[in-house]
Structure 1
Amino acid sequence: MTNRIKAGDLVGHIGHNQNKGITKKTDKDGKYIDIDTLPEGSKDKEFCPHLHVECFTCEDLPSYITQTQAEASKTPEEDKAFLGIAKQVKLLEKEAASDTTVGKPYAKTKINIMSQDVKVAWLQIEIQSSETEIKTLWIKNEAAIAKVAKPNGELSLAENMAAWTKHPLQASNIPSSALIVGTALQVEMNDAKLSLSDNRAIDAQGNVWLKVDVLDDKNRKRSGWVLVNGEGAKRVSCWDWFDFMQIKETSTLKEIYLDADKSLKRNKDNHSLSQYKPTIKETLSILDKQYPVETKIYTSIKEASFKGIADKPMLFTALSRLLINYESEWYSEIDAEGKMPKWEALNSELTENAKNILAYLQTGDEAKLDAYLSRVGKAKDSPEAKGFETRRREISRFPADYQQSPSEKLTKAQFESYAKMAALEKQVTAWEKTKEKIKKMLWWDDVAKGLAKLNQPKNTPPENGETTDTTTPPTDATPPATLSADGKAWFIHPVAMGAFIANDSMITMEMLIASHPTGVKSYYAEILPYLNQYALVYGLVESKEIAHFLSQIGHESGFKSDSEKLYFSSSRMKQVYGCKGGKYNQLKDSCDLGQLRPKLWTNTSYYERNPENLANYVYANRMGNGDESSGDGYRYKGRGMIQLTGKDAYNNFTNVHNKNNPDDIQDFVANPDLLISSTQYGIESAFVFWFTKTGRPNRDINHFVKLKDLAKSGTVQEVTQLVNGGQNGYNDRKQRFNRLARLLGLDEE
């Protein structure tokens, strides 16, 4: 009888990576806190958790796809939840220019709204321009109009307002468009961003247009209008298997390895994909799209290339649509000598060179040196060959008993040669040990045979004295899964799992409203994709940390990428910057707890209501800024969603951004205003601040902690101390946090 996996069932264990460690947290006394679920790597680190994920099926996938596509064809158009936009489809990058104005309505007539759906970019209106003439026009559905527009309603419009005699988006203009989709994509029809009036249009024929972000044929991110159910852009269901590619890979493991190795040498002069096997070729074609064509940057089969698309949904979903039929690494034939032929075939690539050089150094066999030089394409008189000959002569003069104590019996020069020989021996033995490990981990054949027994018909004679289960399964029981006897399966890249993370938004519209109720929903819809993009990149996933993050940003900037104003009256600037703890006595024009910046009193007129002078003074000689005359204080004033302040902070943001975005190198020290001119950078700056900020949240803790760690369990007061450096706005920050706490099921403070 089959046991089905239910939600919550244990299906595997998290392992650990012995080559990587994660730093332990410390308690208030600075002592390291062990992570019970992980083995200890060292005093201050634990082994890093490691999860191996594979997605595959041994069923007849092509047949299954054909059957489900046939069923999908019966789905009503309105029930198809996605829009599939094929490669090479042309989009309209912008609407046509207006060709008229609204004009003046005749006599006392009103302008009527003809559009029955008013959540669109352009509204169709009807205006009587004379006693006998009625005109139909299109107008931009601007924010002020959208607030009052209703189907069959009336409008009052300026006579000189721009208008169109035809809908601004015309299918006839598509063929001449220069915006060509370079990577197929699938978008949700009810996506929040596409539901905004600025991104949706309905023309006179009732055709729906959507404004979507795409990668064009030069791998540049661009936006354009796509005609729903136009050429190459059809509504689809998940069972249509839109843009999936099936690859039956017939290459050997060695051929795949050689292709992967060859990819490491790709450059602007050697980047053609025609020479690669199907799986490697299609994978590289997708990975390459993370860089614009003009950069002439080409990827390879290595970890960094895959990490590069982790925050690019269009690319990691494209990679997940490759369905590859190949032999599992957990299966291998075993020959009469107990060896695995497909892995033995890699010997020549992984150890042949080391074996040849080692044999030459140990015995002086010239044939082994020649074999090595031939494999690496070096001449007999090359510097490398001469170097090995010199080392061989050195080794030939070793004392006969050197192996008893090499460090004592060999000279310094001889010991270097000995160390080189030992490294080669280690390289050879390491591969042999790896093959032994692989062999021990082969589970496919055992599981395949076990499942085959479960599938045996009732009353099948037992083998080798085994007993059989005579229990009659229920008639509706699902047969057990099977694994193919030859180890072949259909694989889907586990990067597809990223789609579930990316689509299951960490941050929602409701959260933004709770943290800043006075914000505009249309603006929130614009910034949500960026907030969730960086939440995924930087790992903002825990509910309490999200609540702290949003409540702090809500207070600091209201989610606007703005700059610090610093336009203060005399009393206000003294309260904020002149007195310890902000304790300013306006009646006495003095500080209750002591003065911080005396020039605010002695040179009041120079600083009050003068943002540049004030910033240069109050931010001088700290946070990486120069003195007052350097101008750094105003140059690096607060900007972005969490008010990044000080030269050090801008430099840190530059370094972190460039490390995570090698295809978008920026210098925020030289161009600090990018944090307010670009919504994306303004948002990212808040994440970088959050994930790199350290400090002491209270006097009881005598060591620095990371803000991102504190926010997972700390109080609003503690988090505020690290964000603000004090407790300014504490009550407001707490109110915002508590609204989010109620929404997220957290304890209120």
Structure 2
Amino acid sequence: MKRALADGLLESEKTIILVEKEAQLVKAAKLAGCLSPGVGIHFTDNTENYYIKINPVYTFNLPARFFYTSNAQSVFGTEIDKVVNGINGKIPAKKDASQSYILTASEKKYLMLMYHSRYPELTEEDIPDKVELVSGGKEQDTRLPSVYSEPANNEDFFTIRFMLENKPYWIELDNVLHLQGEDGQLNSSASYWHDFPLSLANIPTEEDKNTVLSSRTLSLNALAHDGLIAIDEDNTTWVKVTALDKQSLMIHGWVNIKDNAQAHIKRCSPWHWPGFETIEEKASIGELSNKIGKNKVAKLDLEDYTPAMHALHQILTGTLIYSTQRKKGLPPPTFTERDLKEALRRSWAAELIGHLLVKYESEWYADEALSKWNEVDELFEEERQQKKEMIEAGLNELGITQPYLRDYVFKLVDEAFKYIQTNWKIEKEQRIKPSLWWKEVAQAQAQNPTANTDANTPKLSNLSADGKAWFIHPVAMVDYFKIIEKKKCWAESPFALLLGKVESNNDYSAYNQTKPNQN
């Protein structure tokens, strides 16, 4: 599908978020306060987003001396005697009856006096006149949810409950995960905001500490699975991003994915291929092996790098190792195992490496003489001479001049490299040569072209005669394919199923099969 057609897709089909270089991350607004453990929680809508909107529920005890029968009579009518008896500890109040109570001004003042230190967010104006009468007396109704119960005082009491319907709070979902979306109470303190905490007005002024250094692509499906999505009052979606700032330090923040709402933030479909880079690598295996060999890269100028080396260099310069070395005045990272592992430990660097689309000659292609692999043979001799020079310098430094000792050490080096060369010869004959299927298949395709009779099925291209093709990191592509069953624990797709089959059977020949049926 062409990118022009991808632009016309519905927003719901654009499941990739492109966070471009220079994008600025939004921080949450300043906290309004903190809710204490024991506050009841009533969910107003979605219970799965990062920030959720709730109505607080409060349960208080009042001494029985405050109870006015006239306040309850207007509510219960002929049931007043039972209610009073319940408060006196004789008859439990009925849970299924409509039990309400009208608070007096003195009762509200008493509540503020007793509970304000515990619930500082609550004001006297917040307390409604009409509240729910939960229970009364020492034998209060134990059928009521225990999360709404208060410890008994020494004297008889009656218990009321009310919800602040017109004063909602925003809190983080982590604070109520134990409730699993059901109304209940906090078991620990929870910070809150009066309004949705994210706004484009909250972009920090210090650009160096909140501006993205290199582009990132994020899957909406993965973000939703990880609980990194927030939806504001206007139903606008925000996503949480982890990236590097201009100082190569890790930063966290939010971006607004509404169309044209925030600079350098775009919503794309997988068919836009956002964040991918194409590289045509023309260097031979021997040339690459020579340049990436030990003690070689540090001596190379950037002009001597191959295209793939240039791309990797740009990625590695964004890692923490590079930032540390730069501050210490040390050389930048090279292509050692340590440097590459450091990059792969960090999601943004691993993502950039996984999004490199590289065109080069397949390792499944070679001539009968294995010419390209034989180029590596010459490197063994060069490496052997380097090893001898290094050992000779060490012997000289130690003052070891006896010929028999020096000859013995050099003989060990020769034997070691002879062993390596023998193994390399076996590797070429027994592993590399039997795996060279590309040329045979390409010739067969050229001699027996297949006709495509289905106009709706894309025509498959033949393998190239020169063995060159575009290679894609398979794992990096899994999120870019349609999910079959959203309830699965991973991004299941036809492509992912093929990968699973390959890896479970340890049979990598499955990679050479025609793409699986996607119906």
Corresponding residue number in structure 2 for 1:483 = 463
Corresponding residue number in structure 1 for 2:210 = 179
Q: Which of 74, 96, 111 is the equivalent residue of 2:8?
A: 74
Unmatched 5+ residue regions in structure 1?
1-66, 102-114, 130-135, 150-160, 358-371, 395-411, 458-472, 510-527, 529-540, 543-749
Separation in 1, partners of 2:397, 2:336? 33
The SS at the match of 1:209 is strand
- Alpha-carbon RMSD across the aligned residues, in angstroms, is 5.5
Separation in 1, partners of 2:460, 2:238? 47
Distance apart, 1:386 and its partner CA: 10
* Residue 17 of structure 2 corresponds to residue 83 of structure 1: yes
Corresponding residue number in structure 1 for 2:253 = 224
Q: Deviations over 1:392-415 (max 9, x none)?
A: x54xxxxxxxxxxxxxxxxx9976
Separation in 1, partners of 2:50, 2:476? 33
| 8 Å contact from structure 2 (residues 290, 296) kept in 1 | no
Distance apart, 1:491 and its partner CA: 1.0
Corresponding residue number in structure 1 for 2:442 = 448
Q: Which of 328, 336, 352 is the equivalent residue of 1:318?
A: 352
The SS at the match of 2:293 is helix
Structure 1 residues 495 and 74, CA gap change in structure 2 (3 angstroms): closer
Matches within 5 A, 1:325-340: 325-333=359-367, 338=369, 340=371
Structure 1 residues 496 and 508, CA gap change in structure 2 (3 angstroms): closer
Q: Which of 380, 383, 386 is the equivalent residue of 1:350?
A: 380
Distance apart, 1:138 and its partner CA: 9.0
Matches within 5 A, 1:465-480: none
Matches within 5 A, 1:103-114: none
The SS at the match of 2:203 is helix
Corresponding residue number in structure 2 for 1:519 = none
Corresponding residue number in structure 2 for 1:211 = 240
Distance apart, 1:252 and its partner CA: 3.1
Distance apart, 1:492 and its partner CA: 1.6
The SS at the match of 1:482 is coil
Corresponding residue number in structure 2 for 1:423 = 416
AA aligned opposite 2:289: Y
Corresponding residue number in structure 2 for 1:254 = 286
Separation in 2, partners of 1:415, 1:145? 72
Distance apart, 1:258 and its partner CA: 2.8
Matches within 5 A, 1:320-399: 320-333=354-367, 338=369, 340=371, 342-352=372-382, 354=384, 394=404
Identity %: 22
Structure 1 residues 492 and 142, CA gap change in structure 2 (3 angstroms): closer
Structure 1 residues 415 and 346, CA gap change in structure 2 (3 angstroms): closer
Separation in 1, partners of 2:342, 2:479? 15
Corresponding residue number in structure 1 for 2:200 = 170
Q: Deviations over 1:282-322 (max 9, x none)?
A: 23443565536544396554556555566654443322210
* Residue 51 of structure 2 corresponds to residue 121 of structure 1: yes
Q: Deviations over 1:345-395 (max 9, x none)?
A: 4344222454xx6xxxxxxxxxxxxxx79x9699xx95668999968x54x
| 8 Å contact from structure 1 (residues 246, 323) kept in 2 | yes
The SS at the match of 1:180 is coil
Q: Deviations over 1:621-674 (max 9, x none)?
A: xxxxxxxxxxxxxxxxxxxxxxxxxxxxxxxxxxxxxxxxxxxxxxxxxxxxxx
Distance apart, 1:203 and its partner CA: 6.1
| 8 Å contact from structure 1 (residues 138, 167) kept in 2 | no
| 8 Å contact from structure 2 (residues 27, 198) kept in 1 | no
Corresponding residue number in structure 1 for 2:189 = none
| 8 Å contact from structure 1 (residues 287, 299) kept in 2 | yes
Matches within 5 A, 1:511-530: none
Distance apart, 1:227 and its partner CA: 1.7
Separation in 2, partners of 1:311, 1:218? 18
Corresponding residue number in structure 2 for 1:240 = 272
Corresponding residue number in structure 2 for 1:4 = none
Unmatched 5+ residue regions in structure 2?
35-43, 56-124, 126-165, 182-191, 327-331, 491-502, 505-519
Structure 1 residues 376 and 478, CA gap change in structure 2 (3 angstroms): same
| 8 Å contact from structure 1 (residues 324, 491) kept in 2 | yes
* TM, length-normalised to structure 2: 0.51
| 8 Å contact from structure 1 (residues 91, 226) kept in 2 | yes
Q: Deviations over 1:36-87 (max 9, x none)?
A: xxxxxxxxxxxxxxxxxxxxxxxxxxxxxxx431221110123322222123
Separation in 2, partners of 1:324, 1:277? 12
Q: Which of 71, 93, 103 is the equivalent residue of 2:27?
A: 93
Corresponding residue number in structure 1 for 2:230 = 200
Matches within 5 A, 1:428-439: 428-436=421-429, 438-439=432-433
Distance apart, 1:162 and its partner CA: 6.5
Distance apart, 1:344 and its partner CA: 3.8
Corresponding residue number in structure 2 for 1:188 = 219
Separation in 2, partners of 1:443, 1:190? 38
Distance apart, 1:179 and its partner CA: 1.2
Separation in 2, partners of 1:485, 1:191? 39
